[in-house]
């Protein structure tokens, strides 16, 4: 589903308004009224009535406040109390996602359906080829017996009129590891023992029923207090805004961040160390090594492809190296990683160098809340010392290209790219461990197109990749 839709626009507006209230230090006093402002009394309802819409807005705001909807104990507890708790919290907790059951439409289980395009043709390939005899013709039209149907999809493939469609459960279909399913009431729930935090369920739900637990209020509070906050911008962030990177850096500084550090400088360290590790492991007889910078991929390996774990590089990620450097230079600074990946929240929770993680969408909300327009912002005077290859880490193939620049030449590299961690590619990675493969270095990116395709992005992967290319020409 396209990232720009009505559900995502509602979330963006709520992010802007909550950021503005927090920056003005009026969050506790005004957040309950925000629900009414968003859904006035006589507004057209998206659901059954404005009261249901308001309930959903309340839960969206709870997620933006960093709360887990599943933990709600008292439905009468006002948002102002949740806001107070968020403003006073010192520790971010798991999980990074939450499901708003009030917003979930309890989509019917995925099935095949015959539309009125059916002509009741004499050939009847749907009926003839159905392995379960689940299709019969009634009143000149095919009908599917749901009790017999096993959703094999053969009827859909053989119909000459494309009259049969598959009706999916979008979030379940999108999840590559089967981590989301229905509870007894038909609403969706996430099994975090399986979840790899890819965010596909969140971006695919047409009702916006799955949200990340934001840290935007934590960051906005520290900016409002005048704390020293360091923005660590991922290589992927450079392509998300309609400006070059120097302008983006200027806008972030104007928003109150004390400094802007390129995570690409950490990517240079990761590429150098992965190159050294690759040559060492191949010399020692290991048949291949994979990249280590994608947290979704590492979660998938840990939970679903354990046989792959020994082949993953031990080198820390660019975010980790950049965070360590920021803390070494200024131990008291608040480090905030900024990129389109929500799995970085989980990585940050498991480490100690990153205090908060914002998506590009959330950074955009802070800039809008402070009336900062990136296209009108003055360029920052200088950029960091990162290489061009490291700045292109965020585009598929970028990690491999960066690693190549650091190879000594003693070992021939035979790369392979896994561009998108879907069910097919998860199986492919598992098979690599069991069978011989021609590749000896495998770059794995969860998002199609690379990190620029992350769930917290603002631009399409292709547009973001072009901007990165242009920014660092």
The span from the first CA to the last CA of the chain, in angstroms, equals: 32
Closest CA to 97 of 269, 299, 250: 299
Question: 383 pLDDT band (50/70/90 cuts)?
Answer: confident
CA separation for the pair 467, 461 (Å, rounded): 10
User: Is it true that domain 111-167 has CATH number 1.10.3720.10?
Assistant: no
The tens digit of pLDDT for each residue in 250-307 reads: 999 999 999 999 999 999 999 999 999 999 999 999 999 999 999 999 999 999 999 9
Task: Give the mean pLDDT of 199-205.
Answer: 96
CA separation for the pair 460, 384 (Å, rounded): 26
Burial label for 382, CB within 10 Å (0-12, 13-18, 19+), is exposed
- Sketch the domain layout of the chain as residue ranges: 6-106+171-217, 111-167, 227-471
Q: Looking at the predicted structure, is the pLDDT value of residue 49 above 70?
A: yes
Question: 2 pLDDT band (50/70/90 cuts)?
Answer: low
Phi, then psi, of 178 in degrees rounded to 5 = 65, 35
For the chain, give the mean pLDDT. Answer: 94
Phi, then psi, of 417 in degrees rounded to 5 = -110, 125
Looking at residue 48, its pLDDT comes to 87
6-106+171-217 fold: Alpha-Beta Plaits (3.30.70)
Q: Looking at the predicted structure, is the pLDDT value of residue 434 above 90?
A: no
CA separation for the pair 270, 54 (Å, rounded): 46
227-471 fold: Fe-only Hydrogenase (Larger Subunit); Chain L, domain 3 (3.40.950)
**Ramachandran assignment for 27, one of left (phi > 0), alpha (psi -120 to 50 degrees), beta (any other):** alpha
Cis peptide before 95 (omega within 30 of 0): yes
Question: 1 pLDDT band (50/70/90 cuts)?
Answer: low
Vertex 98: Cα angle to 341 and 465 (nearest 5): 15
Question: 467 pLDDT band (50/70/90 cuts)?
Answer: confident
The DSSP result for 98-144, as a single string, is EE-TTT---PPPPEEEE-TT----SS-HHHHH-TT--EEEETTEEEE
Q: Looking at the predicted structure, is the pLDDT value of residue 410 above 90?
A: no
pTM for the whole structure:
0.92
The tens digit of pLDDT for each residue in 145-169 reads: 989 999 899 999 999 999 999 999 9
Task: Give the mean pLDDT of 157-186.
Answer: 94
The tens digit of pLDDT for each residue in 415-426 reads: 999 999 999 999
Q: Looking at the predicted structure, is the pLDDT value of residue 44 above 90?
A: no
When computed from its CA atoms, the radius of gyration of the chain, rounded to whole angstroms, is: 24
The 10 Å Cβ neighbour count of residue 72 is 13
CA separation for the pair 452, 462 (Å, rounded): 8
The tens digit of pLDDT for each residue in 76-98 reads: 999 999 999 999 998 999 999 99
Asked if domains 6-106+171-217 and 111-167 share a fold, the reply is: yes
């Amino acid at each position: 589903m396209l990232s720009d839709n009505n559900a995502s626009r509602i979330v963006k507006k709520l992010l802007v308004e909550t950021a503005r209230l927090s920056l003005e230090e009026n969050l506790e006093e005004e957040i309950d009224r925000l629900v009414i402002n968003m859904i006035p009394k006589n507004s057209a309802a998206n659901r059954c009535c404005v009261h249901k819409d308001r309930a959903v807005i309340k839960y969206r705001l709870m997620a933006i406040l960093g709360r887990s909807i599943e933990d709600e104990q008292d439905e009468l507890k006002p948002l102002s109390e949740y806001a107070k708790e968020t403003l006073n919290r010192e520790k971010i907790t798991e999980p990074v996602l939450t499901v708003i059951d009030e917003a979930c439409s309890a989509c019917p289980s995925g099935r095949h359906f015959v539309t009125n395009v059916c002509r009741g043709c004499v050939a009847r390939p749907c009926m003839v080829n159905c392995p379960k005899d689940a299709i019969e013709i009634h009143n000149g039209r095919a009908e599917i017996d749901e009790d017999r149907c096993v959703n094999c999809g053969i009827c859909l493939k053989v119909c000459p009129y494309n009259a049969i469609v598959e009706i999916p459960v979008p979030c379940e279909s999108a999840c590559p590891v089967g981590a989301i399913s229905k509870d007894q009431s038909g609403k969706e729930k996430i099994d975090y023992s399986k979840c790899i935090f890819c965010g596909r369920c969140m971006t695919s739900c047409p009702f916006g029923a799955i949200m990340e637990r934001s840290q935007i209020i934590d960051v906005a509070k520290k900016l409002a207090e005048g704390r020293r906050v360091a923005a660590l911008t991922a290589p992927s962030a450079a392509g998300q805004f309609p400006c070059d990177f120097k302008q983006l850096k200027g806008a972030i500084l104007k928003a109150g961040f004390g400094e802007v550090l390129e995570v690409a400088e950490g990517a240079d360290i990761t590429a150098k160390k992965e190159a050294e590790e690759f040559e060492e492991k191949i010399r020692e007889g290991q048949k291949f090594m994979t990249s280590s910078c994608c947290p979704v991929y590492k979660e998938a390996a840990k939970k679903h492809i354990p046989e792959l774990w020994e082949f993953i590089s031990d080198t820390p990620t660019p975010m980790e190296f950049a965070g360590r450097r920021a803390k070494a230079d200024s131990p008291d600074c608040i480090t905030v990683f900024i990129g389109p990946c929500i799995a970085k929240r989980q990585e940050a929770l498991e480490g100690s160098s990153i205090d908060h993680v914002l998506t590009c969408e959330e950074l955009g909300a802070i800039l809008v809340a402070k009336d900062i327009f990136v296209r009108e912002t003055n360029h920052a005077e200088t950029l960091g010392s990162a290489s061009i290859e490291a700045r292109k880490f965020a585009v598929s193939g970028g990690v491999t290209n960066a690693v190549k620049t650091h190879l000594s030449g003693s070992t021939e590299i035979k790369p392979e790219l896994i561009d998108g961690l879907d069910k097919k590619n998860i199986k492919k990675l598992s098979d690599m461990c069991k069978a011989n493969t021609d590749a000896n270095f495998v770059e794995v990116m969860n998002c199609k197109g690379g990190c620029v395709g992350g769930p917290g992005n603002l631009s399409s992967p292709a547009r973001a990749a072009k901007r990165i290319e242009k920014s660092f020409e």
